[in-house]
Each structure stands twice: as structure tokens, then as C-alpha cells.
Amino acid sequence: MTDQDAMEQTTVMHTGADGTDPAAYFGPVGPDAYLPTEHVGGAWSDDELHISPVGALLVHHLERWRAEHADPDKLIGRISIDILGRLRRGEISLSTEMLRPGRTIELMETTVDIAGRTTLRARTWAMSAGETAQVAGGEHPPLPGPEGLPERDMAEVWTGGFIHSLSLRDAEPPRPGRARSWLRADHPLVAGEEAGRLASFLIPVDAANGIAVREHPRQWMFPNLDLTVHLFRQPAGGWLGLDTTVSFGPAGQGLTSSVLHDEQGPLGSVQQTLTVRPLPPPACSSCP
């Protein structure tokens, strides 16, 4: 085994137990520890991981932690993830602590270390369920269901293993900064572990920043610094619908705002703070 082979085995899980391409985004390698597969490859750089499946892995870990250390019957109302640095390829370890226990509400903090560095930190609010069906409602425009809608290949704009693992259907033709679409992840989250409905539903959620691009990512960068999901209803699972608007300001700031849907209707929102900057022109190999 070469040094390069050894390094790759510690940074990405290339094959399943039978030597084939693993049909999952992550493989467990220890308590609360996972290796990403090639399906987690980032959209901005080949040597990075995509935040979207890593965020779903965070939710998966959190739900398993809550089953032992908190009240798993409380409903998650907000998950706010701060991205502290590049998501380099490597082993992922997760830990959670209770910040604010309570009878009706709880606040938890989850830390994600990747390749030995703290890379993500998230805070999650959970709340007791109550009977409010008689006042349930909202004013979000409906999103036509995914059945029969035209498909779009995100790989025409984006690269990376994660993007290639997604199915995308458009409820209407997208335009710069605006899309109404459905996304589905085509692999399970973790090999050999059953993920909960929320974690599975959120696998593609960060791709909201990539379905309604205002500028081509080979000319401009607009990665997000965070990912915040608010829920007023728990998802039923299946396709994730996004009614997405992308806005760029005049001084390098941006915001991607999306209303979340499942096939039963709207259920929450996701916000992504963007840092917008032009890409430098490629180096000229023939220039003096």
C-alpha cells in the first residue's frame, strides 16, 4: 500500500464491504464517527465535502443522542449550523450537549469535527408537541407536486459527487436567482443505520443555494457561511420542495431564502448567508 493509498483510506470510504461503490453517503467507523463516501464530494472544490449531507448526518447524530439523553418526543423547530471552516475530506466525529433543559423546550449544541478540526457548530431548539390543528395555516403559495415535472441535471452547472447523487425537478422554468423545484437524494444517509425522517428529508437541503444561481459558479463564488432551518410542521418525507430566491448585495453579501415543502404542503424555511466574490481569471500557461 502506498502512502497515497493510506491517506485516501483515512479521508474517504471508496468501497462497500463487497468492494462495490457504497450506496450511502457515510459509513460508520466508530461511536459517533463516520467516513464520507465519494457521494459527499463538494461542489466548489474536489478536496472538500458538501455541507448538505454532513448537515443531515448532524441531524441523524442529534436524533440518536436525544433518544438516550433528552426527550425524543419533543419536536425540532430550528436547526442553525455555523460553518467554521472548509469541510476537508476526513473522518467525521460528532458530539452533542444540552445547553438548556426544560419541560416544554430544550436547546442543544452539536459540534462536528472533520479530520481533527472543529468545522461545524449547531444549535437546535426542540419543543413539546401540542394540539393546534384548529388554527394551523399559512400564506405560502403552493408548490405543484413533483410527479411528472421536467427533470434538470444540476451537473450541467455544478461538479462534485453529491450533486451527481441528486434528482431535481422544476415546477416552473428557473431563472437567475429564482427557482421553484423539488430535490431528492438518491442514496441512504448512513450505511447500516436507519436514519430518521427529518435527517433523510434534509439530505439535499443545502443544495437550495445551487438551484437558482444568479451568476455562473465558474465566474463567481457564493458559498454559504451558515445553514438555518426553521420548521412549523414536521416533514412527511420523500421529495424536498424549495421555493427559492437568491439575492446579492453591492458589497459582497448575499442571501438564499427558501420556503420548504413536502408533498403535503409548506412546512418551514431555510436561510443561507452568502459571501459573494469573483473568481480570479485562470492562469495563462502560454503567457510570458
Residues paired with 277 in a beta bridge: 221
The span from the CA of 217 to the CA of 141, in Å, is 29
pLDDT of residue 281: 77
Output the tens digit of pLDDT for each of the chain's 288 residues: 444 444 444 566 555 544 444 689 999 999 999 999 999 999 999 899 999 999 999 999 999 999 999 999 999 999 999 999 999 999 999 999 999 999 999 999 999 999 999 999 999 999 999 999 999 999 999 999 999 999 999 999 999 999 999 999 999 999 999 999 999 999 999 999 999 999 999 999 999 999 999 999 999 999 999 999 999 999 999 999 999 999 999 999 999 999 999 999 999 999 999 999 999 876 665 555
DSSP state of 225: S
The span from the CA of 188 to the CA of 101, in Å, is 31
How many helices and strands (H and E) does the chain possess? 4, 14
The backbone region for 268, taken as left when phi is positive above 0, alpha when psi lies in -120 to 50, beta otherwise, is left
The span from the CA of 244 to the CA of 82, in Å, is 20
Sign for the CA dihedral angle at 7, 10, 13, 15 comes to: positive
pLDDT of residue 10: 52
- Spans of all domains in the chain: 11-128+149-278
Contacts of 150 (CB under 8 A, 6+ apart): 169, 170
The span from the CA of 239 to the CA of 4, in Å, is 38
Which has the closest alpha carbon to 232: 260, 213, 205, 212?
260
Which has the closest alpha carbon to 139: 265, 273, 288?
265
- Homologous superfamily (CATH) of 11-128+149-278 is Acyl-CoA thioesterase, double hotdog domain (2.40.160.210)
Residues 223 and 274: beta-carbon distance below 8 Å: yes
| pTM of the model as a whole | 0.92
pLDDT of residue 134: 95
pLDDT of residue 11: 60
pLDDT of residue 23: 85
